[in-house]
Amino acid sequence: MTGRRPSTIVCDVGALAPDALAVDVLARLQLAARRLGHDIRVRNASSELRDLLVFAGLRDVLRVEPGWEPEEREQPFGVEEEGELDDPPA
């Protein structure tokens, strides 16, 4: 007899403000999911929210997917800079 494999629920938190309320909600969501035999994975967390989760000691409880961080001078959300027309090709 095999046990039921826990399913993973992916939670996109990109629109959440990085504050104590968001940390509380995510912790309660994970607790409820675990009681039902599921697991929560956090996606699109801001660096501030990830830092708060670490500070709250939830890094090992909530699986946070590594976030994409814009490089220096790069716009977030995939906005690409375009060169001027008279720029020679590189």
H or E stretch at 7: strand 7-12
How many distinct structural domains can be found in the chain? 1
Has residue 37 been placed in a domain?
yes
pLDDT bucket at 3, cuts 50 / 70 / 90:
low
Alpha carbons 3 and 14: distance in angstroms, whole number: 33
Has residue 44 been placed in a domain?
yes
- pLDDT tens for each residue of 31-88: 999 999 998 899 999 999 999 999 999 888 888 887 655 445 545 544 444 545 566 6
Please give the residue range of the domain that contains residue 14.
7-64
Cα 73 from chain centroid (whole Å): 22
Predicted TM-score of the model (pTM): 0.66
Residues 13, 64, 68, 55: is their CA dihedral positive or negative? positive
Has residue 84 been placed in a domain?
no
The CA–CA distances, whole Å, from 48 to 17, 33, 38, 45, 64 equal 9, 24, 26, 8, 13
